[in-house]
Amino acid sequence: MVGGGTDAFIGAIHRLAALMDNQIELVCGCFSVNPEISLSSGLSYYLPESRVYATYNEMFAKEVLLPEGERMDFVTIVTPNFAHFEPAMMALDNGFHVVVDKPITFTLDEALKLKEKINATGLTLALTHTYSGYPAVKEAKTRVSRGDFGKIRKVYVEYPQGWLSTKQEDAGNAQASWRTDPKRSGKAGCMGDIGTHAHHLAEYITGLKTVELCAELNVFVPGRMLDDDGAALLRFENGAKGVLMATQIAAGEENSLKIRVYGEKGGLEWHQHEPNTLLVKWSDKPTEIVRVGNGYMGDIAKHNTRTPGGHPEGYLEAFANIYRNFSLVVRAGMNGQTPKAEWLDFPTVEDGIRGMQFIDAVVKAGYDDTTKWVKF
Which residues within the stretch 313-352 sit at the binding site for its own copies (CB under 8 A)?
Answer: 313-317
Could you give the CA distance from residue 147 to residue 347 in angstroms, rounded to a whole number? 23
* Backbone torsions φ then ψ of 44, nearest 5 degrees: -70, -20
Identify which of 130, 81, 75, 74 has the alpha carbon closest to the alpha carbon of residue 108: 81
Q: Which of 287, 340, 341, 375 binds its own copies (CB under 8 A)?
A: 287
CB 228, CB 366: distance < 8 Å? no
Q: How far apart are CA 181 and CA 132, in angstroms?
A: 27
Distance of alpha carbon 330 from its chain centroid, rounded?
Answer: 19
Q: Do 87 and 75 form a contact (C-beta atoms < 8 A)?
A: yes
Q: Looking at beta carbons only, is 80 or 160 nearer to its own copies?
A: 160
- Of 309, 344, 350, 357, the one binding its own copies (CB under 8 A) is 309
Cis peptide before 103 (omega within 30 of 0): yes
Residue 121 CB, shortest distance to its own copies, in Å, is 27
Stretch that binds its own copies, among 28-36, 61-69, 237-245, 329-337 (CB under 8 A): 237-245
Residues 168-197 that bind its own copies (CB under 8 A): none
Determine if 214 is a binding residue for its own copies (CB under 8 A): yes
Nearer to its own copies among residue 25 and residue 49 (C-beta)? 25
Window contacting its own copies (CB under 8 A); options: 76-84, 96-104, 195-203, 283-291: 283-291
Residue 296 makes contact with its own copies by CB under 8 A = yes
Sole window of 67-75, 195-203, 268-276, 337-345 interacting with its own copies (rule: CB under 8 A): 268-276
Q: Which amino acid is at 129?
A: H
Contact predicate 206/374, CB 8 Å:
no
Contact 305, 313 (CB under 8 A): yes
Q: Which is nearer to its own copies, 122 or 222 (CB)?
A: 222
Nearer to its own copies, 35 or 162 (CB): 162
Rule CB under 8 A: is residue 208 a binding residue for its own copies?
A: no
Nearer to its own copies, 185 or 276 (CB): 276
Subset of residues 241 to 260 that bind its own copies, contact rule: CB under 8 A:
241, 243, 245, 247, 249-256, 260
Can you tell me the distance from the alpha carbon of 354 to that of 127, in angstroms, rounded to the nearest whole number? 12
Is 186 in a helix, a strand, or coil?
coil
Q: Which amino acid is at 47?
A: L
Residues 66-95, one symbol each (x = binds its own copies by CB under 8 A, - = not), give ------------------------------
Our CB check for its own copies shows the closer of 209 and 375 to be: 375
Using rule CB under 8 A, residue 263 touches its own copies: yes
The minimum distance between CB 336 and its own copies, in angstroms, equals 19
Looking at residues 106 to 165 of the shown chain, list those that interact with its own copies (rule: CB under 8 A): 149, 153-154, 156, 158, 160-162, 165
The yes or no reply on residue 218 touching its own copies (CB under 8 A) is yes
- Between CA 55 and CA 33 the distance in angstroms is 7
Residues recorded for the chain: 376
Residue 226, judged by CB atoms within 10 A of its CB (0-12, 13-18, 19+), counts as buried
